């Protein structure tokens, strides 16, 4: 999902009731879930079923019915202005930023890829894709 409307925030459709067509929507945004921003730019799900959402003001994680947040000042996130996400075969979260390269979160620690330690030619990352070789 890319560039969802700031008014819509992040919504999940959950099948409820006996009929397969019955749905109840739950909206997650600054008002309902304390998101750092309503601008959700990318969403991924890791191998454990955790939902990760990239915003223009930090990273959001939904696990066990609870949201938690990562921001530059309170975690190892390289920047709050995020652009994209990916999950690799080791269940690491790859976080592309608008100006600070890539942060890789293994569940406990962050590593970074930028112009000084990798072949990245620009610090602005728009998309991350893992190929068949990892």
**Per-residue model confidence as pLDDT tens digits over 91-129:** 999 999 999 999 999 999 999 999 889 988 788 899 998
**Dmax of the chain from CA atoms?**
56
Of the ranges 14-23, 46-55, 101-110, which one carries the lowest mean pLDDT score?
Answer: 14-23
Give the residue among 86, 74, 103 at the shortest CA–CA distance from 41: 86
Owning domain of residue 74: 33-134
Domain presence at residue 24: no
Question: pTM of the prediction?
Answer: 0.79
Q: Report pLDDT for 115.
A: 87
Residue 117 lies in a domain: yes
Distance CA 94, CA 103 (A): 6
Domain assignment present for 107: yes
**Does 16 reside within a domain?**
no
Number of domains in the chain: 1
pLDDT attached to residue 75: 92
CATH of the domain at 120: 2.40.10.500
Q: Is residue 60 part of a domain?
A: yes
- Mean pLDDT value across residues 60-82: 93
10 domain-assigned = no
Extract the tokens encoding 8: 């819509």
Structure tokens at 106: 């293994």
Q: Using CB atoms within 10 A of its CB, is residue 33 exposed (0-12), middle (13-18) or buried (19+)?
A: middle
pLDDT at 20: 60
């Amino acid at each position: 999902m890319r560039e969802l409307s700031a008014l819509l925030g992040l919504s999940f459709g959950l099948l409820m009731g006996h009929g397969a067509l019955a749905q109840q929507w739950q909206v997650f945004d600054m008002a309902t879930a304390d998101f750092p921003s309503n601008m959700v730019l990318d969403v991924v799900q890791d191998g454990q079923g955790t939902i990760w959402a990239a915003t223009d003001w930090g990273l959001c994680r939904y696990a066990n019915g609870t949201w938690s947040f990562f921001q530059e000042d309170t975690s190892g996130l390289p920047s709050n202005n995020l652009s994209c996400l990916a999950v690799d075969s080791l269940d690491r979260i790859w976080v592309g930023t608008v100006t600070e390269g890539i942060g890789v979160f293994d569940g406990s620690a962050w590593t970074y890829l930028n112009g000084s330690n990798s072949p990245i030619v620009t610090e602005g990352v728009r998309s991350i894709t893992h190929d068949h070789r990892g």
